[in-house]
Amino acid sequence: MISLLAVILIGQLDHFEFSPISTPQRAGDPFGIVVYALDANGNPYYGYNGSARIYTSLDNPSNPVYCDTLAQFSGGSWSGSVTVTLASDALSLICNDFQGHSGMSNQIQTLANIPTQLFLLVPNETYAPGTATGKSGSVTGQTAGNTFTAQVYATDAWYNLVDTIGHTVRVTTSDPFVSQQQIQLVNGTRAFSYAFRTAGTRQIYASDLTNTSIQTDTSAAIPVSAGAYADLLVVLPGETHLPGDTTSEIPATPGKSGMPLDQYEGTNFQVLVYATDTMWNMTAVSGYPVQLVSDFSFSNPPAETLSNGSAQFLVNFSFAGDNQNLWADDGTIESSYRSYLNILAQQDTTNDTTLVDTLLKAYPNPLGIEGSGSMYFEYRLPASANVSFLIFDPFGNLILQKEIDAGDIGAQAGLNRIAWTGYNDKNQRVASGLYYAVLKAWTHTNTVVKAATKVGVVW
């Protein structure tokens, strides 16, 4: 007679068993498997019709990501397709009903699939191949000017490294003042150094130059903060703050763009002073008293205290004249470089004097580009007028002056043109660099025309 205990044990699920799985498999490609329900003696348990979960030995059983398949058994077995997204030299599949019954397959290798995309990682992100995003972690903010390391990978659709790739990759950034890089992948990956110049939110872009069908990638958004207070920057009317600017030569107005608007003697205008880092990003520094300074007679307003990285002044110059300078000093940080602007004589309103602005166009600019031997300045006059055409070097020295009588060529109503061959008043060829061209015109009714532009010379 069979004992009661034996009756209870007969036909009970004890574990699962896989049919042998061929190896290697390709990550991301489905492949077929068969799983059996067995009793304690290793015999098929045909009466099992429950469900079980299939995942890899590298997964967290409570939250599998590389493979997660629900197997619904019928008559003691289940057959179907599974997909493993992780490339690995060695893993197994596990079948588990989470009731104490499980089984493991033979060990298999999963290979990376075909290369489909580039993949960027930036500081504090961790590579996580085989997952939906390919990475974990939150991006670490950076400081303008500080170098950090990023990594680019050639991967399949599931972010598995394809280590046979040696393509050339172009790396660019949303920071307009950071140059692109070209790097060569080694075994499908490459680390590279980067330093943003401009504060704000920035991203890095990677594109494959060897195989343009490989999908480009854009990094996570990276917060970039300004560095330590290191410079003062004077911004005059007509100029625009240009944080991150790579210009280092003072004549090219580093840290800002545009050209100062002419001002009138004795008339106030606003001057902004920014406390910046070494790359012209405005800092949040407060408390430093800043004084404006000039070599020319001006209103010399009292010092203003920096607040959140800026101070503003109302200024006027005492006498008319071209290229009058202005700079800022806080007594601690090195003073700002000198900015230059033109001061016009006050108009005589009793003679119905008016000011007419005109556009001064220069081409080719710079002079000397592609072998050009002359630069042409074009401008329009509302009426025949006496014309003064002046060119200054970056330090405010007058190097060329042409006076044209009203009605002569270059001083007629409508479109006019003046040619410059790059020589000064002493018939000497000027050096390569930046120059300022100024046009003035007047008539017997004292109508004033004023225009200015920057030009370059390259020999």
pLDDT confidence tier of residue 418, bands split at 50, 70 and 90: very high
What DSSP assignment string belongs to 248-296? Answer: -SGGG-TTEEE-PPPEETT--EEEEEEEE-TTS-B------EEEEE-SS
- Specify whether the CB–CB gap between 183 and 189 falls below 8 A: no
Residue 397 pLDDT: 83
114 vs 395, higher pLDDT: 114
Q: Which of 235-249, 334-348, 396-410, 426-440 has the lowest average pLDDT? A: 334-348
Domain residue extents for the chain: 4-111, 117-225, 231-344, 349-457
CATH superfamily, with its number, for domain 4-111: Immunoglobulins (2.60.40.10)
Residue 357 pLDDT: 56
Residue 49 pLDDT: 97
List the CATH code of the domain at 349-457: 2.60.40.4070
The answer, as to whether pTM is greater than 0.75, is: no
Residue 27 has pLDDT above 60, yes or no: yes
54 vs 376, higher pLDDT: 54
List the CATH code of the domain at 117-225: 2.60.40.1930
C-alpha 447/C-alpha 452 separation (Å) is: 17
Stretch 99-122: mean pLDDT: 97
Taking residue 64's Cβ as centre, other Cβ atoms within 10 Å add up to 16
Query: Is the Cα torsion angle 297, 403, 380, 252 positive or negative in sign?
Result: negative
Q: Which residues contact 394 (CB under 8 A, 6 or more apart)?
A: 250, 251, 433, 434, 435, 436
Residue 5 pLDDT: 41
Specify the fold of 231-344. Immunoglobulin-like (2.60.40)
pLDDT confidence tier of residue 6, bands split at 50, 70 and 90: very low
Residue 350 has pLDDT above 50, yes or no: no
pLDDT confidence tier of residue 9, bands split at 50, 70 and 90: very low
Hunting for tokens 């010092």 — which residue is that?
Answer: 303
Residue 235 has pLDDT above 50, yes or no: yes
Residue 347 pLDDT: 55
What's the per-residue H, E or C state across 354-366?
Answer: CEEECCCEEECCC
Same CATH fold assignment for domains 4-111 and 349-457: yes
Residue 118 has pLDDT above 60, yes or no: yes
Taking residue 285's Cβ as centre, other Cβ atoms within 10 Å add up to 19
Structure tokens, 242: 């240009």
205 vs 456, higher pLDDT: 205
What percent of the chain is modeled with pLDDT above 70? 93
Stretch 424-432: mean pLDDT: 91
- Specify whether the CB–CB gap between 165 and 209 falls below 8 A: no
**Tens-digit pLDDT profile for residues 261-275:** 889 999 999 999 999
Taking residue 75's Cβ as centre, other Cβ atoms within 10 Å add up to 12
C-alpha 391/C-alpha 408 separation (Å) is: 20
Q: What is the mean pLDDT of the chain?
A: 91
What DSSP assignment string belongs to 180-222? Answer: -EEEE-BTTEEEEEE---S-EEE-EEEEESS-TTSBPEEPPPE
C-alpha 300/C-alpha 453 separation (Å) is: 28
Residue 3 has pLDDT above 60, yes or no: no
Residue 239 has pLDDT above 60, yes or no: yes
**Tens-digit pLDDT profile for residues 175-221:** 999 999 999 999 999 999 999 999 999 999 999 999 999 999 999 99
- Specify whether the CB–CB gap between 145 and 175 falls below 8 A: no
C-alpha 81/C-alpha 87 separation (Å) is: 17
Residue 355 has pLDDT above 90, yes or no: no
